Chain A
């Protein structure tokens, strides 16, 4: 009954996105020295949020603060990063970029979990007596 709350759905999707992107970054790092390997990436969460019609918040009544999200969050597909510069051996992984993405992903994950936890605390406070 609580999974319908938008705050929870969004932060859940955000945490899942961070997890998926982390796996892709780890894959790039592992293949940093593989000849001919093209770096992959998942679009940032904000891009998914804007692109997916399922995610677009829409109010059903004027004055709704809350949006109504329907449908399940879309899968986060890794795509080959065409903009990356290739090494002479055909590898396009730059460790520095991957490092940066890793930090970004970890911060996003922490943020999503903090939002989720604060939502939980609010609900707990609401059903608590004191």
Chain B
């Protein structure tokens, strides 16, 4: 499980546990005047073994074994010969303090939950593009130029058979460089795909996913730019007066 989703589930387990504790406190306070009522307590237990974060589970509900309060009320139907009856063993002061602590811990867990969500959304913001208007002017100019140059292209093609100057000469050092670039590009695309698939099936962490996606994007941009430059250079060669 990735860090963010585990942080979210751990925080929500804390929220659940504190809410259950608060419910038992409410039960105790409501039954503060019930004769013979023993206050309920729960002790939390850390879930999961070792240091792996797995959250918290509320343990089993226990009854407080402390002595019940003796209340003097001879008119009470439960009163014994001395005029006393057994009330509950709820101490309001303790319950209020417990409720305060539960609230404080609940808020802390909520804060962690919000923070994990903010961090995760900040990470996803990396994928959001800056305004696309400034990004792709080159494509349109290239397209416009290539449309205009069709006649020039056909005309130069006629020359091509006759003039050796217009024939492409493969440069020795450029070819391996371009091949490396293309191989790198293909590898980056494949990595990006694999990481995206792993993330969708819940195996990769969000950081790797965002990194892979962003780098794929950048690789494609680089490849497109290189392609544009190559096409442009080729067209400039074609336009060369021969």
Q: Do A and B bind each other?
A: yes
> A23 and B119: CB pair below 8 A?
no
Within 8 A of B (CB), among A80-120: 80, 95, 98-99, 102, 105-106, 109-110, 113, 116-117, 120
Can you identify 30 A-B contacts, CB atoms within 8 angstroms? A1-B188, A2-B188, A2-B219, A3-B188, A12-B208, A19-B4, A23-B6, A26-B7, A26-B8, A26-B109, A26-B112, A27-B53, A27-B55, A29-B105, A30-B11, A30-B112, A31-B44, A34-B43, A34-B44, A35-B44, A40-B51, A78-B53, A102-B112, A106-B118, A109-B119, A110-B122, A116-B214, A124-B218, A124-B221, A128-B225
- Give chain B residues whose Cβ lies under 8 Å from the Cβ of A33: 18, 21, 44, 101-102, 105
- Give chain B residues whose Cβ lies under 8 Å from the Cβ of A30: 10-11, 13-14, 17, 55-56, 109, 112
Q: Does A49 contact B (CB under 8 A)?
A: no
CA of A99 to CA of B108 in the docked complex: distance in angstroms?
8
Question: Residues of B at under 8 Å CB distance from A?
Answer: 2-4, 6-8, 10-11, 13-14, 17-18, 21, 43-46, 51, 53-56, 101-102, 104-105, 108-109, 111-113, 115-116, 118-119, 122-123, 125-126, 130, 134-135, 137-138, 181, 184-185, 187-188, 191, 205-208, 211, 214-215, 218-219, 221-222, 225
> A8 and B211: CB pair below 8 A?
yes
- Give chain A residues whose Cβ lies under 8 Å from the Cβ of B104: 95
- Give chain A residues whose Cβ lies under 8 Å from the Cβ of B101: 33
> A109 and B218: CB pair below 8 A?
no
- Give chain B residues whose Cβ lies under 8 Å from the Cβ of A37: 46
What's the nearest-Cβ distance from chain B to residue A89, in Å? 9
Question: Chain B interface secondary structure, helix, strand, loop or mixed?
Answer: helix
Q: A15-B123, A19-B119, A26-B116 are in contact. Are A127 and B221 (CB under 8 A)?
A: yes
CA of A127 to CA of B181 in the docked complex: distance in angstroms?
14
Question: Residues of A at under 8 Å CB distance from B?
Answer: 1-3, 8, 12, 15-16, 18-20, 22-27, 29-35, 37, 40, 77-80, 95, 98-99, 102, 105-106, 109-110, 113, 116-117, 120-121, 123-124, 127-130
